[in-house]
């Protein structure tokens, strides 16, 4: 067990160090969320807009950045190794692939969390946006649940992107669709009912709902139900991930075709 923790922490350390020198990492956690936050804050702070709108601008940019890092950096955990020519070495080690990917995803999530700093600073200094009714404990728990959902999705996407390269293109193309369905910058209640149906099967939707509810006085506050739903959906993703990792192992070790996928 100690050796697995050591392997995961080494993967975490290396992934963080690589991100520190990667211009792409800065694009994802700093530039990209800041640009989205700027658009969101300008649109949501139209003259006569309610104060609750600004909360969506305040947190929305950070959520977008957090998600981008989670699915791009975390999800490409195996793909990066393939591009760098280190995939075979990783499969040659006795440590399970899952443990190495786990360390890398945690490194990505740490960087993703940084996205809230520039966007919150822009919202506060540029638009005087603050949380009108912050419930600090529920906010922290909701952010933790959101992190869990992103962690599970990144772990699930990693083998998916490795097995089918076109899967990344599709999810990359659908990136703004995820912002819509998960309610990153506006509540999903404004969507048509059939879109809300799709949104309901995404774990982050419930965690984001709880996150915003913890900053606002109005609207429903069913925190426990939302946290449980987010957790249950994340668990379902992990079940899917289990089979995908088995498939990756088979492609890499039995057929030796993963590098050719």
Partner 1 sequence: MRRLAAEVGVFGRSTYLQYVALFQWASIRGYIAYKVLLPVTQILFFVELGVYASGRQNALYFALGNAMQLTANAGIFGVIATVANERQYGTLPILLASPANRAVTFLSRAFVNVIDGILTVAVGLGIAVVLFGLDLHHANFPLLAFCVVLISLTTAGLGLMFGSIGLVMRDAIIIANVVYYVLLIVCGINFPVSRLPGVIQLVSYSLPLTRGVQAARDAAAGASFGHVAGLMAGELLVGALWALGGYLLFRLLESWARRGGLQEAY
Asked whether the beta carbons of 95 and 62 are under 8 A apart, the reply is: no
Stretch that binds partner 1, among 7-15, 28-36, 95-103, 111-119 (CB under 8 A): 28-36
Q: 115-130 burial, b for 16+ CB within 10 Å, e for fewer? A: bbebbbebbeeebebe
Instruction: Choose which of 187, 196, 222, 259 interacts with partner 1 (CB under 8 A).
Output: 187
Q: Which listed residue (9, 13, 42, 121) binds partner 1 by CB under 8 A?
A: 42
The residue within the footprint of partner 1, chosen from 8, 19, 53, 131 (CB under 8 A), is 53
Among 85, 92, 94, 173, binds partner 1 (CB under 8 A): 173
Tokens of 96: 């399970």
Residue 43 touching partner 1 (CB under 8 A): yes
- Helices marked H in the chain: 2-20, 23-26, 32-44, 51-68, 77-84, 87-92, 97-113, 116-127, 136-163, 166-173, 175-181, 193-200, 203-213, 223-249
Least separation in angstroms between residue 73's CB and partner 1 is: 15
Decide: is 24 part of the binding site for partner 1 (CB under 8 A).
yes
Q: Which two tokens stand for residue 178?
A: 């995820």
Residues found near partner 1 in the complex (CB under 8 A): 23-24, 27, 31-32, 35-36, 38-40, 42-44, 46, 49, 53, 56, 166, 169-170, 172-177, 179-180, 185-187, 190-191
């Amino acid at each position: 067990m100690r050796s697995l923790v050591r392997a995961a922490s080494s993967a975490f350390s290396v992934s963080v160090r690589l991100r520190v020198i990667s211009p792409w990492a800065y694009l994802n956690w700093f530039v990209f969320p800041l640009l989205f936050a700027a658009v969101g804050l300008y649109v949501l702070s139209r003259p006569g807009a309610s104060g609750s709108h600004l909360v969506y601008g305040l947190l929305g940019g950070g959520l977008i950045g957090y998600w981008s890092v989670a699915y791009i950096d975390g999800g490409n955990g195996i793909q990066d190794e393939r591009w760098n020519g280190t995939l075979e070495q990783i499969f040659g080690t006795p440590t399970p692939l899952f443990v190495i990917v786990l360390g890398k995803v945690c490194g990505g999530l740490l960087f993703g969390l940084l996205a809230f700093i520039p966007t919150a600073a822009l919202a506060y200094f540029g638009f005087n946006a603050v949380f009108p009714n912050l419930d600090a404990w529920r906010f922290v728990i909701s952010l933790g649940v959101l992190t869990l959902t992103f962690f599970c999705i990144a772990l699930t996407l990693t083998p998916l992107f490795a097995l089918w390269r076109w899967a990344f293109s599709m999810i990359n193309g659908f990136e703004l669709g995820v912002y819509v369905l998960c309610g990153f910058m506006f509540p999903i209640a404004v969507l048509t009912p059939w879109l809300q149906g799709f949104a309901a099967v995404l774990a982050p939707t419930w965690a984001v709902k709880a996150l915003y509810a913890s900053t606002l006085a109005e609207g429903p506050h069913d925190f426990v139900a939302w946290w449980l739903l987010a957790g249950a959906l994340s668990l379902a993703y992990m079940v899917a991930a289990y089979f995908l990792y088995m498939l990756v192992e088979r492609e890499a070790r039995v057929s030796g075709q993963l590098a050719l996928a």
